[in-house]
Amino acid sequence: MLALLVSVSASAHLQAQWSEVDGLITHSQEVVDILDEGYRRIAGAGALVGTNIVGDDMLTGTFQYSNFGVIDYRQTLMDQNTLVLYNSAMNSVAGASYSMSVQEYLNGQYTKTGEEFDAAIDSYVAAASVFAKAVMVNNLASAASASENIQDARALQDYITDNSLSLSTNMQTAYNNSIGDVEDAVQLYSAVAILKDDTSSVASIQSDADAASRDYIYANDAIYDSQAKTLQVGFTGPSGQTQYDMTRSVDMSAYVTTNLNTIRNAGTSDDFYQDGPTQNTCFFATSDQQSDPSDACYTGSP
């Protein structure tokens, strides 16, 4: 029940604290629209100098027009009601109390660490691209050996000649480092993903934060300590508020796997592996193959 109440409270809190911002968006847009219309009409009047003379009230008047069947108005003069609503909306935002619950913090960290994981994967794929060509070399060499056909041997030779296939120590370093970066990124991403969905732990952390008047709006990015197997959250709070002079650690050891088979088996059917150069027979397909309906690698591409 506590976990449910925390979840409902977090959702209601999030909606409430953003309502003031939504109001400011609406009423600031009204000011922007008037300003935009003023600039546009003045620009038009200036552009017509020497050919047309704008009539009375053409720059200052309010005009009605149909916006996809809906009657709307265009004005260039700032009216009192617009100013009152704009100022009121600004004051509401300025006076609002913005805070962040543990659940909101973890949801944000989940998005951020997911993006960092994707970026690490992209870096790995880029670093792996030079090594992926070894798959094609292996395929062509195997075909030539099996057939003992001089044309297959020439195809292998042409591929080697036409492509930069030599592997350097710089490529080795980039590739090896990229795997390490993926490991770091996925550890943090998974730890955050697990904790954010653990309603019992989130409720406990929130209770601790409430008791200490600790707002997670001041929490730093989460860090995963692979040695201690903990997810750690430090704080940078307002000066003099000692409740932020701490680091919240959550034990994640129950979720850590050191079973290689578990990891390899999970990867076997995953798209990243199946679509990669070692498993996807069409990974190196040419544009001609992809556009040929009779080819096994046909994708429908023109």
Residue with tokens 């609503």, as numbered in its chain: 85
Q: Which residue has the higher pLDDT, 73 or 111?
A: 111
Between the CA atoms of 107, 108, 114 and 117, what dihedral angle is there, to the nearest 10 degrees?
Answer: -130
| Residue-wise DSSP of 93-154 | HHH------HHHHHHHHHHHHHHHHHHHHHHHHHHHHHHHHHHHHHHHHHHHHHH--HHHHH
For the chain, give the number of residues: 302
Specify the range with the lowest mean pLDDT, choosing from 62-66, 190-194, 202-206. 62-66
Q: Which residue has the higher pLDDT, 158 or 198?
A: 198
Q: What is the mean predicted confidence (pLDDT) over 24-31? A: 95
The whole-number pLDDT of residue 302 equals: 59
Reading the block at residue 238, the tokens are 């307002």
> Is residue 127 within 8 Å of 178, Cβ to Cβ?
yes
Q: How far is CA 161 from CA 18, 166, 188, in A?
A: 61, 11, 43
Reading the block at residue 239, the tokens are 């000066």
Q: What is the mean predicted confidence (pLDDT) over 116-139? A: 91
Q: What is the mean predicted confidence (pLDDT) over 222-250? A: 95
What number of other Cβ atoms are within 10 A of residue 195's Cβ? 21
For residue 44, how many C-alpha atoms fall within 13 Å in the half-sphere facing its CB? Answer: 10
Between CA 260 and CA 263 the distance in angstroms is 5
pLDDT tens-place string over residues 36-93: 999 999 999 999 999 999 999 999 999 988 878 888 889 999 999 999 999 999 998 8
pTM over 0.75: no
Q: What is the mean predicted confidence (pLDDT) over 25-34? A: 96
Parallel, antiparallel, or unpaired for β 63-67 and 70-74? antiparallel
Q: What is the mean predicted confidence (pLDDT) over 192-217? A: 97
Residue 1 has pLDDT above 60, yes or no: no
